[in-house]
């Protein structure tokens, strides 16, 4: 049978390789296997790859495209973006893709660093999404993040250093927002939070922007709760709105 291959951590870190081919024998990539690399523009994936750890492709900042063997039964592509086979898990979007991208309905989870350093200005998120993993949109050029009802978890550093981000909607269904999820989003001007009761969040969840210039919008009747809630009370302007009305 074919030789089974797996890569550990930082195997190709800083490698000057424009095209990286993962042969049919490569079955597993550990977290950060490909390291931080600006040179690689194309990744060819063979038939055997089925297990991909966190951040494997996220730090390939110059990546323009994936080529996936049509005989790979484990992975799939949608408009150039890498998913698992049934498209429930979005794994990686090449940073070089530009314009807009619509994540397909049925996607449940966005992987760590999936849109790291992404040039997409607009990303539409499906109603089926339940979890966004760490650094998924970190340092991306996304301008607006309208997170859907049904979303339950936002991990740490999800939008860290996304300095094009100006507006965020947090749904009423959110159950957990991890530390630094919205940290260092310097241009952030508006957060629309749909929860009637403030969610307990870490001190560093929001930061690196001017709390006097970013308006927090909350449901009607929730102003006092947010004004008295740890972290949320840092916002100098808290206004009420009906959901869906800016």
**Residue showing tokens 């998924």:** 136
Give the pLDDT confidence score for residue 104 in this predicted structure.
Answer: 98
Mean per-residue pLDDT of the chain:
90
- Residue 220 CB coordination number (10 Å): 10
DSSP assignment of 129-195: --EE-TTTTTT----EEEPPTT--EE-TTTTTT-TT--EEEE-TT--EE-TTTEET-TT--EEEE--
Which pLDDT does position 246 carry in this prediction?
46
pLDDT category at 72 given cuts 50, 70, 90 is very high
Q: What is the mean pLDDT of residues 53-82?
A: 90
Residues 81-102 have pLDDT tens digits of 999 999 999 999 999 899 999 9
The pLDDT of residue 16 is 65
Share of the chain above pLDDT 70, in %: 92
pTM exceeding the 0.85 threshold for the entire prediction = yes
221 touches 196 (CB < 8 A)? yes
* DSSP one-letter string for 39-74: S--EEEE-S---EE-TTTTTTBTT--EEEE-TT-SS
Q: What is the pLDDT of residues 184-226, one digit of tens each?
A: 999 999 999 999 999 999 999 998 888 999 999 999 999 999 9
Note the pLDDT tens digit of each residue in 16-45.
678 888 899 989 888 777 767 778 899 999
Which pLDDT does position 223 carry in this prediction? 98
Q: What is the pLDDT of residues 135-178, one digit of tens each?
A: 999 999 999 999 999 999 999 999 999 999 999 999 999 999 99
């Amino acid at each position: 049978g074919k030789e089974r291959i797996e890569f550990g951590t930082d195997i190709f870190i800083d490698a000057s390789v424009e095209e990286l081919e993962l042969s049919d024998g490569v079955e597993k990539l550990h977290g950060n296997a490909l390291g931080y690399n600006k040179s690689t523009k194309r990744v060819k994936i063979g038939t055997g790859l089925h297990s991909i750890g966190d951040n494997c492709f996220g730090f390939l900042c110059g990546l323009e495209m994936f080529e996936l063997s049509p005989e790979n039964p484990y992975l799939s592509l949608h408009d150039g973006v890498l998913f698992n086979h049934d498209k429930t898990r979005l794994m990686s979007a090449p940073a070089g893709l530009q314009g807009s991208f619509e994540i397909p309905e049925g996607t449940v989870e966005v992987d760590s660093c999936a849109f790291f350093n992404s040039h997409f200005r607009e990303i539409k998120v499906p109603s089926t999404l339940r979890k966004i993993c760490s650094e998924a949109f970190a340092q991306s050029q996304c301008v607006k993040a309208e997170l859907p009802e049904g979303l339950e978890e936002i991990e740490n550093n999800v939008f860290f250093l996304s300095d094009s981000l100006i507006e965020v909607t947090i749904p009423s269904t959110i159950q957990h927002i991890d530390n630094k999820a919205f940290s260092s989003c310097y241009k952030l001007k508006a957060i629309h939070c749909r929860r009637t009761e403030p969610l307990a969040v870490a001190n560093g969840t929001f930061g690196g922007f001017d709390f006097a210039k970013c308006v927090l919008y909350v449901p009607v009747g929730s102003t006092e709760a947010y004004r008295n809630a740890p972290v949320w009370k840092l916002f100098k302007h808290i206004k009420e709105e009906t959901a869906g009305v800016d």
